[in-house]
Amino acid sequence: MKTALATVTISGTLKEKLEAAAKAGFDGVEIFENDLTQYERSPKDVRKMADDLGLEIIALQPFRDMEGMPEKLRLQKREMLKRKMEVAHELGTNRLLMCSNVQSYSSGNRDQCAEDLRFLADMAQSENIMLGYEALAWGYHIADYMDAWDLVKRTDHPNLGINLDTFHMYSRGNTLDVLRDEIPVDKIALVQVADAPVMPRQDYLTYSRHSRCFPGQGDMPVVEFLQVLKDKGFDDYLSHEIFNDEFRSSSPIAKAIDGMRSLIWLDDQTVSAVEEKIRPLSVPEVRGMEFIEFAIEGESGEDLIRTLAQLGFHETHQHVSKNVSLMRQGDINLILNREPASQAHEHFQKHGVSVCALGLATDNVKETLRMAERYHAERFVNQAGPGELNIPAIRGIGDSLVYLVGANSRYRFFDVDFEEIEGVQGEQGVGLTRIDHVGQTVSNVDFLSAGFFYKSIFGFDIEPKQDLPDIHGLVVSRTATNKDKSVRIPINMTNARSASAERFMQKAGGSGVHQIAFACKDIFAAVKNMGQEKQLPIPDNYYRDLEARLSLDPALIQKLQAHNIMYDENEDGAFFHCYTEEVHGVFFELVQRVKDYSNYGEANAYVRLASQARQELN
């Protein structure tokens, strides 16, 4: 599979876009005409720049409204094509892409349109240029790829093929029947793969310009599309043409790497008809969250330690050679890293007291590292002393790390690198058993990337997004989970400048962990043991509403209210949860799941967000 990226997909100057595509490992680029028009150097210079970077310029695009035009405009379009073919030669490409006509005054007569395209294809043939014709979802007469194929067939010219774009196909609700049964591989001029969230039918142009994303980041059946192509023996370029506001306002290199990661993922989900039907790597199972690591220094972390102590945590172990301690309760491991020569110190310098790393337990560390390398994750080289564990890690969300620990090892990480602190092993905590979920907040430009990081490397499922009303705007949340949901990572973002997610980003200096939820078997006993000093107060009106909505026993309502515990239920079970006040931007949650309840109490989120906003003002 050869990979390409349309320059419209990412931000920056044309030079920056080409450099980003090369650094991400793409084989080629489509030059979007606007990028070339606004660039100060000549097409020949662009060709040399691409050659020096090892990139093939695979196409120049797009050319609009070429068929079915009134006579005067028809002649103008032919002259335009002549000039653009000169540019294509200077760029060193032999492909030009055309979009279906969107003008209301154009003719829908297929024979006339075919005649126009045949004339253009004759012009292209004389210049050894291949034309690709694409159905825009909002095309005036040709909007479905089946109709575009009909027009290409009518034209019947060796220098005209069809351009297939998954966004335009799936946004119209097209099936793959025509592609599967009729379109031969040699008539496919180019394939562009884009994804998007499924939305109610709307203005296709607005949908296209603002909602496209990389394959695997949306809801369209892009895997099925590529499998059909592979079954037909297709082995030409797969290219991204993505219109997305967030993509074009973020780092071009970061988004180019995301794009390459998505094409690798897409390729890995499908099998070739001409090769052995195996995928290059299988994803090892992630079995749990082994630890959470905090970066602290000196007295700066005392507020955090006091809050954790209120939750029943105590420093139970000390690292054998570093200024690092461990808090344990149930199967929860919280690392406090005060070591000056460490990644945690660097994280503290940027973000203050914060979560600097997560530790995931995986069935096969070596294979997980291979998967991370395949998907262009950056490896982090850790410094370990003699006889100490050298736990491998990769760069995660923001500036954090993800450590990889063997799930089937005979020893836990603290059995080797830590020593028990005398006199604290008898502490029982408050009844917390394990880490239920860990919430991360990211910028709006990194929201899709963060979910796809967990999906591609670890094989996590990405649950449908939820809108959480904040008193200062809307927070959008989407959760990444492993197969048995023993690891749950809600990912939040907002476009509102004063909403809770943005306030966290400002306080924390960027993306990071904002929420840690601990599971318990009896939340009332846990809350009683911890006391109410650090609890987030919930307004009485919430409990009046809860009683009215769910007709709960008044005695239960009183018990919930007395301990600031919130409640939710559905057909699968029930959910009890309460929160601590924020400390250094992070808050803790205690949860008790009853039966098979697997949500997060989303119905209560707006009350919690308002209560946290009030806390910040006090």
Q: Is residue 279 part of a domain?
A: no
Per-residue confidence band for 459, with pLDDT thresholds at 50, 70 and 90: very high
Per-residue confidence band for 201, with pLDDT thresholds at 50, 70 and 90: low
Map residue 239 onto helix, strand or coil: strand
How far is it, in rounded angstroms, from Cα 205 to Cα 544?
Answer: 46
* pLDDT at residue 398, as a whole number: 93
* pLDDT at residue 202, as a whole number: 65
197 has a pLDDT exceeding 80: yes
Per-residue confidence band for 387, with pLDDT thresholds at 50, 70 and 90: low
Map residue 118 onto helix, strand or coil: helix
- Provide the b/e sequence for 70-102 (b: ≥16 CB within 10 Å): eeebbeebeeebeebbebbbebbbbbbbbbbbb
* pLDDT at residue 273, as a whole number: 56
Please indicate if the annotation marks 134 as binding a ligand: yes
In degrees rounded to 5, what are phi and psi of residue 191? Answer: -120, 125
* pLDDT at residue 200, as a whole number: 66
272 has a pLDDT exceeding 80: no
* pLDDT at residue 343, as a whole number: 93
List, for residues 134-155, the tens digit of each pLDDT value.
999 999 999 999 999 999 999 9
Q: Are residues 479 and 603 in the same domain?
A: yes
* pLDDT at residue 565, as a whole number: 97
Q: Which of the pair, 286 or 427, is modelled with greater confidence?
A: 286
For residues 524-533, average pLDDT: 86
Per-residue confidence band for 615, with pLDDT thresholds at 50, 70 and 90: confident
Per-residue confidence band for 280, with pLDDT thresholds at 50, 70 and 90: low
Q: Is residue 428 part of a domain?
A: no
Per-residue confidence band for 99, with pLDDT thresholds at 50, 70 and 90: very high
Q: How many domains is the chain built from? A: 3
For residues 431-446, average pLDDT: 96
Per-residue confidence band for 533, with pLDDT thresholds at 50, 70 and 90: confident
* pLDDT at residue 381, as a whole number: 82
Q: Are residues 183 and 303 in the same domain?
A: no
Per-residue confidence band for 211, with pLDDT thresholds at 50, 70 and 90: confident
Q: Are residues 506 and 585 in the same domain?
A: yes
206 has a pLDDT exceeding 90: no
User: Is residue 4 within 8 Å of 192, Cβ to Cβ?
Assistant: no
Domain boundary among 240, 268, 296: 268
Q: Is residue 429 part of a domain?
A: no
Q: Other C-beta atoms within 10 Å of 618: how many?
A: 5
The CATH number given to whatever domain includes residue 114 is 3.20.20.150
599-602 contact pairs (CB < 8 A, 24+) = 599/568, 599/570, 599/575, 600/437, 600/479, 600/488, 600/490, 600/575, 601/566, 601/567, 601/568, 601/575, 601/577, 602/466, 602/468, 602/477, 602/568
Nearest by Cα to 296 from 345, 333, 332, 343: 345
Q: CB-based burial of residue 357 (10 Å sphere; 0-12 exposed, 13-18 middle, 19+ buried)?
A: buried
For residues 565-573, average pLDDT: 97
Per-residue confidence band for 479, with pLDDT thresholds at 50, 70 and 90: very high
Q: Is residue 157 part of a domain?
A: yes
How far is it, in rounded angstroms, from Cα 57 to Cα 461?
Answer: 35
The three-point CA angle 589-326-399 to 5° equals: 70
For residues 300-321, average pLDDT: 92
Dihedral of alpha carbons 498, 500, 506, 510, sign: negative
Q: Are residues 252 and 188 in the same domain?
A: yes
Q: Are residues 392 and 331 in the same domain?
A: yes
Q: Is residue 280 part of a domain?
A: no
CA distances from 88 to 13, 80, 111, 584 (A): 19, 12, 28, 56
* pLDDT at residue 89, as a whole number: 98
Q: Are residues 546 and 606 in the same domain?
A: yes
491 has a pLDDT exceeding 90: yes
Mean pLDDT of the chain: 93
DSSP E strands in 320-460: the ranges are 324-329, 332-337, 354-362, 379-380, 393-395, 401-406, 418-420, 432-441
The CATH number given to whatever domain includes residue 498 is 3.10.180.10
Q: Are residues 452 and 508 in the same domain?
A: yes
* pLDDT at residue 357, as a whole number: 97
How far is it, in rounded angstroms, from Cα 405 to Cα 289?
Answer: 9
Domain boundary among 268, 298, 325: 268
In degrees rounded to 5, what are phi and psi of residue 227? Answer: -60, -40
* pLDDT at residue 432, as a whole number: 96
Q: Are residues 452 and 308 in the same domain?
A: no
Q: Is residue 426 part of a domain?
A: no
CA distances from 41 to 32, 36, 139, 287 (A): 15, 8, 33, 53
Q: Are residues 450 and 519 in the same domain?
A: yes
Full domain range(s) for residue 225? 2-268
DSSP label at 390? -
Q: Which amino acid is at 344?
A: A
Please indicate if the annotation marks 192 as binding a ligand: yes
Lowest mean pLDDT among 52-66, 274-288, 454-468, 478-492: 274-288
Please indicate if the annotation marks 241 as binding a ligand: yes
Q: Are residues 207 and 163 in the same domain?
A: yes
For residues 486-509, average pLDDT: 94
279 has a pLDDT exceeding 60: no
498 has a pLDDT exceeding 70: yes
SS (H, E, C) 506-524: HHHCCCEEEEEEEEECCHH
Q: Other C-beta atoms within 10 Å of 157: how many?
A: 18
* pLDDT at residue 271, as a whole number: 83
Residue 147 CB contacts under 8 Å (≥ 6 apart), including other chains: 135, 141
Q: Is residue 446 part of a domain?
A: yes
CA distances from 98 to 89, 141, 472 (A): 17, 15, 44
Domain boundary among 388, 420, 452: 420
Task: Give pTM, 2 decimals.
Answer: 0.90
* pLDDT at residue 429, as a whole number: 84
Q: Is residue 180 part of a domain?
A: yes
Structure tokens at 181: 């049964």
Q: Are residues 580 and 444 in the same domain?
A: yes
Per-residue confidence band for 460, with pLDDT thresholds at 50, 70 and 90: very high
Nearest by Cα to 563 from 547, 579, 552, 551: 579
List, for residues 580-613, the tens digit of each pLDDT value.
999 999 999 999 999 999 999 999 999 999 999 9
Q: Are residues 115 and 55 in the same domain?
A: yes
What does the DSSP assignment read for 78-98? Answer: HHHHHHHHHHHHHHT--EEEE
Dihedral of alpha carbons 112, 142, 119, 35, sign: positive
